[in-house]
Amino acid sequence: MTLKILKGVWFFSVLGLLGMFFYVYAGLPELVTLWDGPEPITITRNGLFYTLILTIGLLNATVYMVRQLLGNNPDFVAWFYGMMATINLFIIAVLGFVHVFNGGDRYDYTRMAPAIYGSLILAGVWLISWPMIKIFQKFSTK
């Protein structure tokens, strides 16, 4: 049951990620600034598009590889679906920041910090949860 729920959460996170990705891509200028400093880091809009499509595709394809390789361990597969959903949520937050940063409007960028840091903390907690679950199961069976 947990596997089906987390599979659904992952699926909707992929849909949300793709929706956000295409929305952000449509509003980006031809030259996208990723870091504004003494030496700004910029990339073309098409370069960002293909880099992110490749990254998102490879990251989410690992779900199918893990399911095929470790299908006999449904608890880990369910956990991995959740992990990928949290990573997708982090990418959504970063895309939102890139969109706001490259928009022409004035915006207080510190307001994006809770979304970015919150999704990063969620991914970290989820990453740590699997070893903690296994340790708890090991001690609870004794």
Is pTM, for the whole model, over 0.95?
no
Q: What's the domain count of the chain?
A: 1
Q: What is the tens place of the pLDDT at every residue in 52-92?
A: 999 999 999 999 999 999 988 999 999 999 999 999 999 99
CA distance 54 to 116: 21
pLDDT at 141 exceeding the cut of 90: no
Residue 45, Cβ density class (10 Å: 0-12 exposed, 13-18 middle, ≥19 buried): middle
pLDDT at 142: 65
pLDDT per position as a tens digit, 39-54: 989 999 999 999 999 9
CA-CA distance, 13 to 19, in Å (whole number)?
A: 10
Domain assignment of residue 47, given as a range: 2-140
Contacts of 130 (CB under 8 A, 6+ apart): 76, 79, 83
